[in-house]
Chain A
Amino acid sequence: MTTAATPADAPAENAAIRLERLTKTYPGASRPAVSGLDLTMPRGELVALVGPSGCGKTTTLKMINRLIEPTGGTVWVGGVDIRTLPTHELRRGIGYVIQQAGLFPHRTVGDNIATVPKLLGWDRQRIKARVDELADLLRLDRGLLGRYPAALSGGQQQRVGVARALAADPPVLLMDEPYSAVDPIVRAQLQDELVRLQHEVHKTIVFVTHDIDEAIKLADRIAILNIGGILEQVDSPAEMLRAPRNDFVADFLGDDRGIKRLSLMTVGDASLSKGPVVAESASADDAQSTMAKLGYDWVAVCDGEDRLRGWIGAAELDGVATVGELTPEPFRAVVTADTTLKAALDGIVTSRTRVAMAVDADGRYLGMLTVDDLAEGIVA
């Protein structure tokens, strides 16, 4: 889309990043901050660099746009050895998002977003069109474009920071703990937005964070680094949670690895059991025998069109002819195919029936999930 002579315009096929034996030893340091790191970042993927303080994740990120010069090894961006480009040209072709956004306080929001296009010498109309487009993409009210950053909330500032980074449509985006300075609610929103945005823009994103949950939520691939920039494991979040390579990785993932895996899977991935279900028209005896057969002391009730109405306890069935005479109690945990298994588990453990009932978009009953069903999914 952009046509200036920068690495931003390298053919998209080559847009991935490759780190080759990348090393950084700071002057006077006895041990390298990053030592011999080999890592390939496939085009269009979000790779999270995760690790404890001192693992060199930010150093690694900053070596990609040469804010820090490596002391050894090579960085390839879009098939180009970055040392062959003037640093300012390289940087104009790589989006850069930092903690607290780093917006220019003396420039309006619109001018902040226009920073790189202006440096690249775009004409005024093209810049204005691009700024408007980005405001829409990031769901920033266009009325904010004439305001100064100080007038914006932290979340809005961070959105502007992302818009600025995307302005010249670079294939690569570097994000350095972008959400660590905003409150948890806004952070969750920004994370959801990044997922949505990435669906639209398909950038190669290098995302530094110390928050493993953030990495699991956002990343296609997670690289876990140990002190001194040693790569312990690189894998998809699901695979890493399933099979951490060593104790360091397992510790870093936390003692709730199984639960975290549930957050990556949905009800649609799970095998549902049938559950004790009867129609409203069923007799009390039918309901009793259904419960007895499956070993429950309650029964779920569906209407004539298979829509889930609720549940009835065994004791209530005494002295009634059909189930329909009673008013069922609604289920606490009703889930759909795209509910995460983690949310389903939460429903299971907080409901009196200890199950989550799955329904389709029209409320028709699909099946039942119990803790056992989830456990089988995790072990499998």
Chain B
Amino acid sequence: MSPVLAARPPSWSGFGFDGNWDVVWHYTVVHLRITSLALLLGAAVAFPLGLAGHRWRRSYPAILGVTSVLYTIPSLSLLVLLGLGFGLGLLNDTPLIVALAIYTLAILVRNLVEGLRAVPDSVKDAATGVGYTPLRSLLAIELPLAVPAIIAGLRVAAVSTISLVSIGGVLGRGGLGFLFFEGYRRNRTSEIIAGIAASILLAVVVDIALILTRRVLTPWTPARAAR
């Protein structure tokens, strides 16, 4: 049973917006799901990489170098490489999610390490001096203080991921990207506009959600310092 037959995606009907709102909604949800999974996967890999880069200073340039090189691979090539070369297949979202996660690494790792490095020495000195073990200091003092930088990284990664998801449209996937490609192929302007507008809106909403998350997590930062 092929996945294409199992879940036939809703498609655009006619040349206007009427009757197509649920189609836009469907692809927005798919778009958000792919974005979220890519970010989660990226964060899950970036977190230990960043901690390692912070803990072992000499490993950091190498970690940064590898993630930066990965970032320069053209997206379509990476997608095909993952789908065919690594056998993830092209008719599901997995290669797309993995590719997008790889692109988030460069920014997420960098921001985590910079955030940890920006914790003032006096604060770390005090934490050690009052009797925090290194692990407790990391968890209770240093990581919370790195949250603004971590979320700043997540915001950039989220917005760029949302725009990159659409590349999957080439393969008939990619959430809202599907609407651009299909709209273009069938010469339906309304479908293209709907796809673009929805993905911009999604990016704005996700960005605002992350800003609010940061506000909730870091009540100690002055409000106007929110980046």
Do A and B interact with each other, yes or no? yes
Checking B122, B125, B126, B130 against A119 with a beta-carbon cut-off of 8 angstroms, the contacting residue is B130
Select the stretch in A41-49, A84-92, A204-212 that faces chain B: A84-92
The answer to whether B123 and A96 touch across the interface, beta carbons within 8 angstroms, is no
The answer to whether B125 and A67 touch across the interface, beta carbons within 8 angstroms, is yes
Q: In the complex where A104-B141, A106-B218 touch, is A67 in contact with B122 (Cβ < 8 A)?
A: no
Q: How far, in angstroms, from A93 to B215 measured CA to CA in the complex?
A: 36
The answer to whether A102 and B122 touch across the interface, beta carbons within 8 angstroms, is yes
Chain A residues, CB < 8 A from B158? none
Q: Which residue of A lies closest to B133 (CB)?
A: A88
The verdict on A272 contacting chain B, using a C-beta distance below 8 Å, is no
Size bracket of the B interface: 10 to 19
The answer to whether A119 and B220 touch across the interface, beta carbons within 8 angstroms, is no
Q: How far, in angstroms, from A92 to B126 measured CA to CA in the complex?
A: 11
The verdict on B128 contacting chain A, using a C-beta distance below 8 Å, is yes
The answer to whether A104 and B126 touch across the interface, beta carbons within 8 angstroms, is yes
The answer to whether B122 and A116 touch across the interface, beta carbons within 8 angstroms, is no
Q: In the complex where A99-B122, A106-B144, A107-B220 touch, is A88 in contact with B127 (Cβ < 8 A)?
A: no
The answer to whether B129 and A104 touch across the interface, beta carbons within 8 angstroms, is no
Chain B 126-155 residues near chain A, CB threshold 8 A = 126-133, 141, 144-145
Query: Looking at B218, B219, B220, which has the most chain A CB atoms within 10 Å of its CB?
Result: B220
Q: How far, in angstroms, from A317 to B219 measured CA to CA in the complex?
A: 75
Q: In the complex where A67-B129, A88-B133, A116-B130 touch, is A102 in contact with B123 (Cβ < 8 A)?
A: yes
Q: How far, in angstroms, from A116 to B126 measured CA to CA in the complex?
A: 11
Interface string of A149-187 (1 = CB under 8 A from B): 110000000000100110000000010000000000000
Chain B residues, CB < 8 A from A103? 123, 126
The verdict on B85 contacting chain A, using a C-beta distance below 8 Å, is no
The answer to whether A102 and B131 touch across the interface, beta carbons within 8 angstroms, is no
Q: In the complex where A99-B122, A107-B220, A150-B220 touch, is A119 in contact with B129 (Cβ < 8 A)?
A: no
Q: Which residue of A lies closest to B124 (CB)?
A: A102
Q: How far, in angstroms, from A72 to B129 measured CA to CA in the complex?
A: 21
The answer to whether B130 and A91 touch across the interface, beta carbons within 8 angstroms, is yes
The verdict on B222 contacting chain A, using a C-beta distance below 8 Å, is yes
Chain A residues, CB < 8 A from B120? 102
Chain A residues, CB < 8 A from B123? 102-105
Chain A residues, CB < 8 A from B122? 98-102
Chain A residues, CB < 8 A from B127? 104
Q: How far, in angstroms, from A232 to B17 measured CA to CA in the complex?
A: 89
Q: In the complex where A105-B145, A150-B222 touch, is A164 in contact with B125 (Cβ < 8 A)?
A: no
The answer to whether B130 and A164 touch across the interface, beta carbons within 8 angstroms, is yes
**A contacts with B, residue count (CB < 8 A):** 28
The answer to whether B129 and A106 touch across the interface, beta carbons within 8 angstroms, is no
Q: How close is B165's CB to chain A, nearest CB, in angstroms?
A: 34
Chain B residues, CB < 8 A from A161? 126
The verdict on A353 contacting chain B, using a C-beta distance below 8 Å, is no
The verdict on A65 contacting chain B, using a C-beta distance below 8 Å, is yes
Chain B residues, CB < 8 A from A65? 129
Q: How close is A113's CB to chain B, nearest CB, in angstroms?
A: 11
Q: How close is A252's CB to chain B, nearest CB, in angstroms?
A: 27
The answer to whether B141 and A91 touch across the interface, beta carbons within 8 angstroms, is no
The answer to whether A96 and B129 touch across the interface, beta carbons within 8 angstroms, is yes
The answer to whether A91 and B126 touch across the interface, beta carbons within 8 angstroms, is no
The answer to whether A91 and B145 touch across the interface, beta carbons within 8 angstroms, is no
The answer to whether A89 and B141 touch across the interface, beta carbons within 8 angstroms, is no
The verdict on A115 contacting chain B, using a C-beta distance below 8 Å, is yes
Q: How far, in angstroms, from A104 to B140 measured CA to CA in the complex?
A: 10
Interface string of B58-71 (1 = CB under 8 A from A): 00000000000000
Q: How close is B144's CB to chain A, nearest CB, in angstroms?
A: 5
The verdict on A148 contacting chain B, using a C-beta distance below 8 Å, is yes
The answer to whether A102 and B125 touch across the interface, beta carbons within 8 angstroms, is yes
Chain A residues, CB < 8 A from B218? 106
Q: How far, in angstroms, from A98 to B219 measured CA to CA in the complex?
A: 25
The answer to whether A102 and B133 touch across the interface, beta carbons within 8 angstroms, is no
The answer to whether B220 and A115 touch across the interface, beta carbons within 8 angstroms, is no
Chain A residues, CB < 8 A from B222? 150
4 nearest interchain CB pairs? A102-B126, A92-B131, A96-B129, A91-B131
Besides A102-B125, A106-B218, 17 other CB < 8 A contacts? A65-B129, A67-B128, A88-B131, A88-B132, A88-B133, A89-B131, A92-B130, A92-B131, A96-B126, A96-B129, A98-B125, A98-B129, A99-B122, A100-B122, A102-B129, A119-B130, A149-B220
